[in-house]
Amino acid sequence: MLLCVCPEIPGHTLHVIQRGRLHAACFFSTGDRLAYLGWLGEFASQTGCAVHAYVLMGNHVHLLLTPSRQGGVATLLRLLGTRYARHVAESRQREGALWEEGFDATPVHNNRYALACMRYIELNPVRARMARSPEQFRWSSHRCHALGEENALLTSHAAYAVLGRGAAARQAAYRELFKNVRPGGAMRRPGKSKAGKPVAMQNHSNPLASSD
């Protein structure tokens, strides 16, 4: 059972982080990442959650989600985590929990904050020195937002939609948010205090191993 310190409210966006157990790797190949994204789309549709942004890192995932009904995000994470963990267990002959027992879920209160979250999410590979620019990293939503690359998984957040009247204008305005970014540069997560304590959703019964 997923217990929410920050209750889900239909129509209100959440920045979610799903982590590998003990910070261990949860993606091992291109096929793994493609499978995860495929099930993310399937279960997001099934649970009524809009996916606005994402990044798949080596040992964790960031998602920007808006549920249309109560409990949608918790159900999405449970279904997705369970199905993907089974995939890894079967394909890698791996035993044991894949995900941490809980996952962070921070409420996104306005458009400015939503854009800050999107920027933070898509800059993760640059901060981790996995890519020199967000455009170089395949496993995020950045190419769709900044370059117009088609991505059926995504639903534009209102914050993105108001960046410009047309697609080209929105993409140009979005790229401006990423200027002067240095690989490895430090950045505090939006919604996280200086003490490092985020609002969290915790899965205390561990049916899934979601993440913290």
CATH of the domain at 106: 3.30.70.1290
Question: Would 206 be classed as within a structural domain?
Answer: no
Residue 168 clears pLDDT 90, i.e. is over it: yes
Question: Would 155 be classed as within a structural domain?
Answer: yes
Radius of gyration of the chain (CA): 16
Mean pLDDT rounded to a whole number for the chain: 86
Question: Would 6 be classed as within a structural domain?
Answer: yes
- Global pTM? 0.85
- How many independent structural domains does the chain possess? 1
179: left (phi over 0), alpha (psi -120 to 50) or beta: beta
d(CA 153, CA 182): 28
Q: Which of 15-29, 83-97, 109-123, 188-202 has the lowest mean pLDDT?
A: 188-202
Question: Would 25 be classed as within a structural domain?
Answer: yes
The per-residue pLDDT for 102 is 82
Q: Which of 115-119, 150-154, 194-198 has the lowest mean pLDDT?
A: 194-198
Question: Would 41 be classed as within a structural domain?
Answer: yes
Question: Would 197 be classed as within a structural domain?
Answer: no
Question: Would 207 be classed as within a structural domain?
Answer: no
d(CA 110, CA 51): 16
Q: What is the mean pLDDT of residues 159-179?
A: 96
Using DSSP's 3-state secondary structure scheme, residue 152 falls into: coil
Q: In angstroms, what CA-CA distances link 98 with 27, 79, 87, 94, 158?
A: 10, 14, 11, 9, 34
Residue 66 clears pLDDT 50, i.e. is over it: yes
Question: Which residue range(s) make up the domain with 134?
Answer: 2-191
Q: What percent of the chain has pLDDT over 70?
A: 83
